[in-house]
Structures are given as C-alpha cells and as structure tokens.
Structure 1
Amino acid sequence: MSELAHHRTDLVRQVQPTPVTDYLGRMLADRPALKIGSRTSPMAMSQARQVKAMLAELTPDTPTEIVGIETSGDKWMGDLAELGGKGAFLKEIDRHLVMGGIDVAVHCMKDVPGDVPMPDGTAFAAYLERDDVHDVAVFREGSPYSSLDEVPPGTPIGTSAVRRKAQLLRYRPDLHVDRIRGNVNSRVARLDETKQFEALVLARTGLHRVGMQHRITQVLPTDLMCPPIGAGVIGLQCRTSDQAIAELLRLLDHPETRTHVTAERTMLHGLRGHCNSPIAGHATTTRDGQLSLRGMVFTREGGTFAYAQEWDSTDRPAELGAFVSATLLRKGARGIIDGIPH
C-alpha cells in the first residue's frame, strides 16, 4: 500500500463513533439515504468513496449513496475561460445541492474559484486533512529522460493549469509548454499514445487517487512549483439548514487544514483573480508554530511575477491572507492579473 493510501486509511480509522455521532445518527435515521454528490471523473469518485467510508465509520447505521454528476467543465475540452472558468466544475453540483438532489457536495478546493460566490444557504462544513501538495512530472513510456532538467530546449511539455505553465516557463523558458485537458487517466493515455508531449506535469495526489502513482517520474519541489490555492484539500459542502448533516460533517473537519485553507482563500479573494490568472499560494505551520503563507502571481509565460511570504500566529489566518494579498497588490499583482484576458 502506498504512503498516501496508508494516510487515507488512517484518516478513516481516526474517525470513531461517539455519543455525539450516535445522537446525530438517530436524527438522520428517518431520512432517506444521505446523498454524496461528486463529479464523475475517476479521481473525483475516489474522493467521494473516501468520504462515504469516513461517514460509515462515524454513523454505521446511516445509509449513504454516491451521486455522480457530470459537469459542463468535465464535458468541455476547450478553454475553461469560455465556460466562465473553474466554476464550470461546480455550478451543476451547486444546483443539485440547493435543490435537494444531494445532501453533501465533495469538492477539490483547488477547483473552487475565488471570484464566484457560494450559493446562499450553503457552507463548507468540513475540510479533510490535507494530502500531498506536490506537482510531479510524468514522462511518456519509452522516454529517455527522467527529469525536466535533462530535456533539451524546445521539448513539448503538457499541463492543464496556467499556474504550472507560468512556473515551468519561469524555470525553463526554453521549453514548449502547451495545454492538455481531460481527467488524469485520459491525459496519461494521450501522453503515451500520441507522443505529442515528452512529459506532463500533474498533481501527485491525483495520480495516487486513481492508482497511477507508478507513473511518477520526478517530484517537483514546492519552491520550483508553488501549489495552487487549496491543493490537496477535499471540501465538504452542505446546506446550512440541514443542521444534523452540518454537525456530522464538522466532525470530519481538520482544524489545521481549515486554518491553512482560510489563509490561502482569503489571499485569493483579495487578489480577485479570474480562472486564467496564474496564482499560487501555500500556507503551512512552521516548526516553531507560526503560520506561514507564500503567494505568487505570474504572467501566463512566467516572465513577470509578484512574490510575497509572510508569517503570523495560527489564530489569524484571515488576517495573514489579507496581508499577503495586499503585499502582492503593492508589488504589481493587480496589473499582472488585469493584463491577462479572461
């Protein structure tokens, strides 16, 4: 079993029934099965199954079922900006949640945009413990290379994120970096079959979730590839009026992850970036107990960027996020963001 698989198993084992969960289970006993809504990609369904398992550990007598929802973002293979950005992955799921078709929405927080308000009457009741945030390089089968340092100038590299493209070109401006869309499985299949790219840059966690961790060739350090806002975090959204479900989900909330996500997303809101904005941000807790937040804003080719890193106490994540966004704006982030077409 992989390190990440062990980690996810431990997450489930840490969730133990208590008198509170027994009480919530009784409150939910007369309801139909609790419906967990998710995108239909293999990675998203893996996440939904993880949530289902954790809820089963909490309240074994509460039936749950997974409802797969194919979103417009999943079906569209063009530029996401033409569909209104990352919100294309959320709007159908939000509609099902608001209308009562599902009770819990499972989201990758990196896909939750900062410029689209949440539907009224909904909230993220829980953030699961953060998984690995590293990006990795996956080389095509038969490639003579095993590192981005080795490939010659002009080598074609594929990625789905403008954030990755900007940082790759900042590191290796001589590479040819192009967009590739689709779920993780289909992108890796295209890499091997078409030989259009020498390598792809993908999220390490995503590969583990779909059982393709064996394809990881190179793990990229975070000082080379700063993660996206909310990287490695699963958020559980529900209707605030469903108090029993909200309280049940809160038992799955990981306080340190909530602190980190709050800092990162406050920074994102302050920058008012759109889906084409290459914005990176990563909050951590330092060894001496301080909250650290690093933020970066790039042009799409990575030639111009603004960078900031600040520290504060762990009980002030929103204040730290606001301060870092203000620092980035003072360093020219607004001009960079406004100069990138929506």
Structure 2
Amino acid sequence: MLIKIGTRSSPLAMAQTHHIMGLIKAVLPEAEFTLHAIATMADRDRVSEFHQFGVVGVFAVEHESQLLSREVDCVVHSLKDLPTSLAEGLTLAAVPSREDPRDALCGATLHELPQGARVGTGSLRRRAQIQSLRPDVEVVPIRGNVGPRLRKIEGEGGLDAVILAAAGLRRLGLSGSASETMDPAVFPYAVGQGALGVEARADDENLLAVLKRIEDPTARAAVEAERAMMHALGAGCS
C-alpha cells in the first residue's frame, strides 16, 4: 500500500511525520510512503503574527487543498494547528498517543527571570499568561522553527527566555533546553497541544481502516473535549 503523506517542511513537522510513518509500519509492514512537504502561508511569512493573517488554520488550509485535489492521501498535523471545523469531505482520521501537552520556558525559570526580562513567543495565549504571572516582563513577538527560536536566547535576539511546547522539544531531542515545564494549573496549555492529528478524506475507506489502528482512544477523547470547548467559544489556535 502506497501512502502519499502531506506535511510541512520544518524539522519538527518532518520528525512528527516520520513518527506517524513508524506507527503505520508497525501495523502494516508492507506500507510504503512518499512525502509531499510544502511551505504554508505561515511558513512563507515569518514576520506577521498569527492573528494578523485573518485566516483560521494558517498551517492547515493549503494542506486541505492537497487532500481535496488528491495530491496526497493524508496530512500529519500538530493538532493544535488544525481548525475545529474541517473542509467538507475531510476527517480527523487518527489521534495517536499524546506527548507532554505542557508549555516549557527555555532560558530561565519563571522565578529566575530578571525584572523587565524579555521573553519571546508568537502566541497571544502565552503572551497573556506570562504577563499575568509576571507583569514586569516584556513580551517579544517571535516566529520561526524551534532551533532559531532557541538561538534567540544565545545571543542572536537578546532574549532572556522563550516559551515553546514541551512536546516539540522532546520530539526534536531538545528536552534539555527547557528550564521549567509550566504547571497547567497556572499556565494552561493550548487545545490539542502535544497531540498529532492525521487528516484524510472521509471516503478513503482503506486508508481510514489503517489509520484507525494507530489511534489512541484516550488521547482522542481528551482532544475532542478540548476542541469542542474551543469550537463553542469560536476560538482558534494560538
């Protein structure tokens, strides 16, 4: 069975896609894959903040076009980037086991940050939460892949810390970069964070049967509850 998989071209997206390929291989050893990596609108524009795009699902809309045109058979998403309303004819076919959903502060712990520290994040949610806990800090908007963000606390950007997803650090083998993993009771994580989602066409019965075999029911139940709440609030990923 040949499966054409769509993904973003970032190191994290590729690591996540290879993880999904490994899960599929474990249940279907004869599976073969071709990767179709694209740069989404948010990948091409590394300057604008996410809320400035005026589009829900800036990392997903072009992938959904790939699916609908049958250029690919499925797409691997960071589930927090996938809108709660999918394009007609598409479905969230699999949610495998979830990684650590928490946020990580890299560069210093919350209490180690000096007065007036400069903290980088591209997320409105993280901005609001860090300023709620530390009103004195200056939040600096940053975009880009995990590696370049981390380098901004190593002299390139003059930042004291950056906030990233613990799951992304772990998937890239960079867990040691986290100075503190934030307690969700005081720093709630994003809906779907730490989970991967495999999106496919709703009528592709053969592939859906395969993807069902890599599903984690516990992870699915948790993220579906979170996504239902976000949908009811009319919110998006950040």
After TM superposition, which residue ranges in structure 1, 4 or more long, deviate above 3 angstroms?
Answer: none
With structure 2 as the length reference, what TM-score do the two structures score?
0.94
Give the match's secondary structure for 2:112.
Answer: coil
The CA distance in 1 between the partners of 2:210 and 2:188, in whole Å, is 33
Q: Which residue of 1 aligns with 2:24?
A: 55
Structure 2 gap segments, 5+ residues each: none
Alpha-carbon distance, 1:170 to partner: 0.8
Q: Which residue of 2 aligns with 1:281?
A: none
Give the match's secondary structure for 1:87.
Answer: coil
Of residues 185-194 and 91-100 in structure 1, the stretch that sits farther from structure 2 once superposed is 185-194
Q: Which residue of 1 aligns with 2:194?
A: 232
Amino acid at match of 1:75: R
Amino acid at match of 2:97: E
Give the match's secondary structure for 2:57.
Answer: helix
Give the match's secondary structure for 1:88.
Answer: coil
117, 120, 124: which one pairs with 1:158?
120
40, 46, 58: which one pairs with 1:88?
58
Bigger radius of gyration, 1 or 2? 1
Tell me, yes or no, if the aligned pair for 1:135 and 1:201 is still in contact at 8 Å: yes
Amino acid at match of 1:138: C
The number of equivalent residue pairs is: 237
Q: Which residue of 2 aligns with 1:168?
A: 130
Tell me, yes or no, if the aligned pair for 2:80 and 2:237 is still in contact at 8 Å: no
Identity, % of aligned positions: 31
The CA distance in 1 between the partners of 2:18 and 2:90, in whole Å, is 22
The CA distance in 1 between the partners of 2:115 and 2:152, in whole Å, is 22
The CA distance in 2 between the partners of 1:185 and 1:104, in whole Å, is 27
With structure 1 as the length reference, what TM-score do the two structures score?
0.67
Structure 1 gap segments, 5+ residues each: 1-27, 140-145, 277-342
Amino acid at match of 2:170: H
101, 110, 118: which one pairs with 2:86?
118
The CA distance in 2 between the partners of 1:127 and 1:275, in whole Å, is 17
The CA RMSD measured in Å over matched residues stands at: 1.5
Q: Does 1:243 align with 2:227?
A: no
Q: Which residue of 1 aligns with 2:95?
A: 127
Higher relative contact order (CA 8 A, sep 6+): 2
Amino acid at match of 1:183: N
Alpha-carbon distance, 1:275 to partner: 5.4
Alpha-carbon distance, 1:85 to partner: 4.1
Alpha-carbon distance, 1:113 to partner: 2.8
Alpha-carbon distance, 1:86 to partner: 4.9
